[in-house]
Amino acid sequence: MTDRIVDFLRSRRPEGPCLVVDLDVVRENFRAFRHSMPDTRIFYAVKANPAPEILSTLAEMGSCFDCASVAEIEMALAAGATPDRISYGNTIKKERDIARAFALGIGLYSVDCEAEVDKIARQAPGARVFCRILCDGAGAEWPLSRKFGCEPEMAAGVLEHAYRNGLDAYGVSFHVGSQQANTEAWDGALATAAGLFRELAERGIRLRMVNLGGGFPTRYLRDVPGVPNYGQSILDAISRHFGNRLPETIIEPGRGMVGGAGIIKAEVVLISRKQADDPVRWVYLDIGKFGGLAETMDEAIRYPIRTLRDDGPSAPCVLAGPTCDSADVLYEKTPYPLPISLEIGDEVLIEATGAYTTTYSAVAFNGFPPLQSYVI
């Protein structure tokens, strides 16, 4: 919680649930990445929070941008990034969107199969491509599963296919899973990437780049290692696997760049019990899964929550959102301790919510407006 956010909430008293993002924290985070990984290019993952103020601040500081759609590419361009600082990092793209991106000057694309290479070869001739390899996401609180990437043996063929179709087979990418608490998680994928570099070299194709993805965590309830620990561990792993032929590297931090910069102000709408002597209270807030807290799915991300009554004793509560969908429950399997004296109408502050909240909020489910955002 920063003083600037406290002042903003006190003086502006915004109505309804809202996210407030402190740009100073985003700046500090960018500097920490640059300082800890000075030879790595930073591609901010726009999906984490595409607020124009965040994008233009990062663009001014020299960041590049990892975009998942043409709309995100247009946002990054509008924020001042030049096309050479933008990648189209989604492995699933419509062919006509590739054509639009190419017309906008984008020359860097991700792939994980030959069919995607074919689309790029047709619509973005000569572009650079990197192939995403599967990563099991062990150690991550928000793993990215098998949806993206291919087995390394297949990646070699995909990259060769790109090369044979006139594209620049540029490198390899992976994502170790979001909110990755293990600083060593990059090691295995880097070993695989180095193996691919060697194998492609034998086929006469010189890969040059490793995209290390995101995964850098935000501090929620538990302490997490700092960016320098990740930087050191990744650098050690790169040296171990690539020796003195170091590849160009890219990181794509999303959560680690903006998560800790934002706080959601919300309100207690109702406190009830399911029977008179039920020890567990149900606390309903004016924000839930559909208002932006989608990452509480399977109770994966557990946000720190503050109230003005935190000095007193607390008891476990089921915490839920305000909509009529029974899936709109934030924490039930592991109830959340909240003050016994909590009352209807109390304000609650949900911390570390700068990433993956505004963009996940529904347009108007139950008539509730999308999550309001203020960037200060």
- Give min distance, CB of 286 to ligand PLP, in A: 26
Q: Do the Cβ atoms of 216 and 40 come closer than 8 Å?
A: no
Distance in angstroms (rounded) separating the CA atoms of residues 196 and 207: 8
Nearer to ligand PLP, 178 or 307 (CB): 178
Residues 258, 260, 262, 267, Cα dihedral to 10°: 140
Q: Note whether 116 binds ligand PLP by CB under 6 A.
A: no
Q: Note whether 33 binds ligand PLP by CB under 6 A.
A: no
Among 36, 49, 63, 178, binds ligand PLP (CB under 6 A): 178
The DSSP bridge pattern shows strands 128-132 and 64-67 to be unpaired
**What is the helix, strand, coil percentage profile of the chain, to 5?**
35, 25, 40
Q: Which stretch binds ligand PLP (CB under 6 A): 117-125, 211-219, 295-303, 358-366?
A: 211-219
Among 175, 241, 265, 281, binds ligand PLP (CB under 6 A): 175
Q: Which of 64, 113, 317, 324 is catalytic?
A: 324
Distance in angstroms (rounded) separating the CA atoms of residues 153 and 213: 20
- Give min distance, CB of 121 to ligand PLP, in A: 21
Q: Do the Cβ atoms of 12 and 375 come closer than 8 Å?
A: no
Residue 324: active-site member: yes
Q: Note whether 93 binds ligand PLP by CB under 6 A.
A: no
Among 17, 254, 262, 354, binds ligand PLP (CB under 6 A): 254
Nearer to ligand PLP, 8 or 360 (CB): 360
Q: In the numeric block, which tokens belong to residue 180? A: 């990755």
The closest residue (CB) to ligand PLP is 214
| Residue 265, CA distances (Å) to 12, 83, 89, 364, 367 in order | 12, 36, 32, 19, 19
x-marked contacts with ligand PLP along 49-88 as a string, rule CB under 6 A: -----------------x----------------------
Distance in angstroms (rounded) separating the CA atoms of residues 359 and 292: 7
Q: In the numeric block, which tokens belong to residue 89? A: 């990092």
Q: Alpha helices, DSSP H only, in 104-225?
A: 114-123, 152-164, 186-202
Q: Do the Cβ atoms of 72 and 47 come closer than 8 Å?
A: yes
Containing 4, the helix (H) or strand (E) segment is: helix 3-12
Containing 40, the helix (H) or strand (E) segment is: strand 40-45
Nearer to ligand PLP, 215 or 291 (CB): 215
Nearer to ligand PLP, 177 or 288 (CB): 177
Q: Note whether 137 binds ligand PLP by CB under 6 A.
A: no
Nearer to ligand PLP, 58 or 317 (CB): 58
C-alpha angle 276/280/282, rounded to 5°?
A: 90
Q: Note whether 89 binds ligand PLP by CB under 6 A.
A: yes
Q: Note whether 48 binds ligand PLP by CB under 6 A.
A: yes
Nearer to ligand PLP, 209 or 320 (CB): 209
Nearer to ligand PLP, 5 or 224 (CB): 224
User: How many chain residues are in contact with ligand PLP, going by CB under 6 A?
Assistant: 15
Q: Note whether 215 binds ligand PLP by CB under 6 A.
A: yes
Q: Note whether 45 binds ligand PLP by CB under 6 A.
A: yes
Q: Note whether 252 binds ligand PLP by CB under 6 A.
A: yes
Q: Count Cβ neighbours within 10 Å for each residue of 40-68 and write b for 16 or more, e otherwise.
A: bbbbbbbbbbbbebbbbbbbeeebbbbbb
Q: Note whether 260 binds ligand PLP by CB under 6 A.
A: no
Active site residues: 324
Chain residues in the site for ligand PLP (CB under 6 A): 45, 48, 66, 89, 175, 178, 213-216, 252-256
